Chain A
Amino acid sequence: MSDMTPIGATPSTQVPRYSGKGTFARIADIHEVPDYDIAVIGLPFDGGTSYRPGARFGPMAVRQAARTLRPGYHVEFGVAPLEQVQIVDAGDVTITPFDIPEACRQIENGMRDIIGERARKVVAIGGDHTVALPNLRALHAFHGPLALVHFDAHLDTWDTYFNAPVTHGTPFRRAFEEGLLIEDHSIHVGIRGPIYDRMDLDDDARMGFRIIRAGDLDVMGVEAAVDIVARRVDDLPVYLSIDIDVLDPAFAPGTGTPESGGLTSRELLRMLRQLNGINVVGADVVEVAPAYDHAEITSIAAATVVFDLLSLIVASG
């Protein structure tokens, strides 16, 4: 942590929330500070989508929706994250829309720069779920293998799509193959809906993932699920990946591959708040596709999740 008093967010009692700067929740821009502890970073890329595109506008929309936040004090976590550490908005990584492998290199390099030798923590705003792979590669360079906690309607451990190995449906299979994940310490939460093949589940299990399906939450309850996740990751370095489509389409209509029967936003937030204490070194919130959103429903949910992740990191710090 840096020694200087952190620069916080623009005070909402003096500058109305709909005006002023355009960083996430109007926190400090990376250029305003000599150093920082946690960075929010935008990854505007949707070249890996298999159905509805549009997540390239996710970072922009989530930052805009985050204007509605009051980032002074997080009641459930009991922290004032912006007072305790320096959190910055690092802007967007410049990413080509035309070439998935090149985009992944650009994201990995951008993330490495932001993380740096001090192994600063990052919360990335996607972008489609492809971005999780270069994020994991970048984090792996500083932390070694990670435990993955993955909130999503979909497994994202498929093999290829139209022969493309890196897409928004395949990041965690590639991550497993590349040795970026700690075997038997990763878990999917919120999985639901039909799949291409029964084999998909076998493959997923063989790669050492555990699954809490959306419907399982109804039976076991949030507390039991949180307990399973916490024990699964123990005190290992965690990458927390949140595909906004883990939420029911009612709570997150603006996304590329909506799937009925998802979590309520309250369930997701409650889980995150009870995961207080796990060692999150990096996180993402992905698949917000504003063209399919209405009245910022999805981007407000995502902005809230991003602020929760920041607070979780600080509270667990």
Chain B
Amino acid sequence: MAGSLFGPDITFLGVPRCDLTDESSYADADVVILGAPLDGGTNYRSGARFGPSALRQACYLAQDGSRPSLALRVDGLKDLRVYDAGDVMLYSGNIEQAVKLIEEDVYKISAAGAIPIILGGDHTIAWPDHTGVARHHGFGKVSMIHFDAHADTGDIHNGSLVGHGTPMRRLIESGALRGDRFLQLGLRGYWPDEPVLQWMAAHGLRSYEMTEIVARGLETCLTEAFDIATSECEGVFLSVDIDVCDPGHAPGTGTPEPGGFSARELLDAVRRICYELPVLGVDVVEVAPPYDHADITALLGNRVVLEVVSAIARRRKDKAEGTTWDPMQPLLAGREVDEQLRLITEGEEARRRGEGGGRPHHHHH
């Protein structure tokens, strides 16, 4: 039974519904969106259980399953076959059971040849999200690019192996993710401590703290990370914790940390990743609506998902047609104007110049 655990039973911006218990409903999917309304893994502000419903509807345009991208010149939601499988019916009071349920659903999507995009939920879900994808594509074969203020490589928090501060360690321990194919961007602040940092170093992680990103430039860091992420791997899992952005750009989250990315930087980086790399799965996590204001954070999370879908659509279109997307191209350049519209417009222009038209001139005062 597909549907929403909380809130109105809607799909992501109105894309068609599929049902993960009925394989035929998503057999032809390119992308399947899945809600994971879990916040039982938070150790500070809870509320991310309402993330999926907020991310699905945070948009001022019609919920019509269509979003032509101005920049990428594709309609990701239409050019790709995108379905929304609803929410995993989980209970935040039982995180151990929840991660199992999530992993099974993500695996189903991957096994059907589609890209899962999981709407969190707190970051606990990165463990089952990536594992579900790696079960299909191969353990150690799916690298990860991880945007976050926090490393999420803690060991045991409050006596629990499962939680939103520990998923990345669990992934590396299980072998689903190679430590030396794990790229982190946006870390900052005052956590984790030295033993955890040493564990990360020992496992060969490449973690870009905010200071390095500012000193060397985001583009340089991304290019470097891309080389690592694609080496000896089938593809990339992209995990976006919305708190990678500054609290000014993403207030509605559980553990905000000042000094982060702007919304623009995140969207551009996500676009580059999904355009340039073979992305096999994505999650967008830690949007906590009770702490949001005027949907600022939900709108950003919604756009992260759209950027993913649009960039994947553009990547596939360019591959199929042998074209290349040019970010320098002006918005209106190269657009084939309809002949009738061109003639009408030329006529209007001519009249404005006083040529051949019978209409009176505009009076100047």
Contact = CB atoms under 8 A, between A and B. Distances in A.
Interface of A: 46-49, 51-54, 56-57, 96-100, 102, 161-164, 167, 289, 291-292
Nearest to A99: B160
A47 to B, nearest CB: 5
Q: Which of B42, B47, B93, B159 has the most CB of A within 10 A?
A: B93
A162 B93 contact: yes
Contacts of A167: 93
Contact of A47 (B89, B90, B93, B159): B93
B52 interface: no
Contacts of B47: 52-54, 291
Given A96-B160, A167-B93, A53 B41 contact: no
Contact of B94 (A56, A164, A289, A291): A164
Contacts of B163: 98
Contacts of B159: 96, 98-99, 102
Contact of A98 (B49, B89, B162, B290): B162
Given A52-B290, A53-B47, A98 B6 contact: no
B324 interface: no
Contacts of A289: 290
Contacts, number: 63
A52 B289 CA distance: 10
A98 B91 contact: no
A56 B159 CA distance: 18
Interface in B148-162: 157-160, 162
A292 B290 contact: yes
Interface residues of B, number: 26
Interface string B43-75: 101110110000000000000000000000000
B91 A162 contact: yes
B95 interface: yes
A54 B48 CA distance: 11
Q: Which of A98, A162, A291, A292 has the most CB of B within 10 A?
A: A98
A164 B42 contact: no
Given A49-B93, A96-B159, 12 more contacts: A47-B40, A53-B49, A53-B92, A96-B158, A96-B160, A97-B43, A98-B163, A99-B159, A100-B93, A102-B159, A162-B93, A164-B93
B226 interface: no
Contacts of B158: 96-98
Contacts of A56: 46
A98 B40 contact: yes
Interface of B: 6, 39-43, 45-47, 49-50, 89-95, 157-160, 162-163, 290-291
B250 to A, nearest CB: 16
Contacts of B50: 52
8 contacts: A46-B46, A48-B93, A57-B45, A97-B40, A97-B42, A98-B95, A102-B159, A162-B94
Contact of A51 (B6, B41, B157): B6
B329 to A, nearest CB: 44
B290 A54 contact: yes
A52 B288 CA distance: 11
B37 to A, nearest CB: 11
Main secondary structure of the interface of B (DSSP, over half): loop
Nearest to A100: B93
A47 B92 contact: yes
A100 B40 CA distance: 10
A315 to B, nearest CB: 37
A291 B292 CA distance: 10
Contacts of A99: 159-160
A291 B291 contact: yes
A21 B158 CA distance: 27
A53 B50 CA distance: 10
B100 to A, nearest CB: 13
B44 to A, nearest CB: 9
Nearest to B160: A98
A162 B90 CA distance: 8
A57 B45 CA distance: 8
Contacts of B6: 51
Nearest to B252: A291
Contacts of A291: 45, 47, 290-291
B305 to A, nearest CB: 23
A98 B43 CA distance: 8
A53 B46 contact: yes
Contacts of A51: 6
Nearest to B162: A98
A99 B43 CA distance: 12
Nearest to B161: A98
B174 to A, nearest CB: 19
A52 B53 CA distance: 13
Contacts of B42: 97
A46 B157 CA distance: 17
Contacts of A100: 93-94
A125 to B, nearest CB: 17
Nearest to B158: A96
A56 B46 CA distance: 8
B29 to A, nearest CB: 28
Contacts of B291: 291
Q: Can you list the 7 inter-chain pairs with the closest CB atoms, starting with the nearest?
A: A162-B91, A291-B290, A53-B46, A98-B160, A96-B158, A47-B93, A100-B93
Q: Which of B40, B42, B291 has the most CB of A within 10 A?
A: B40
B292 to A, nearest CB: 10
A99 B47 CA distance: 17
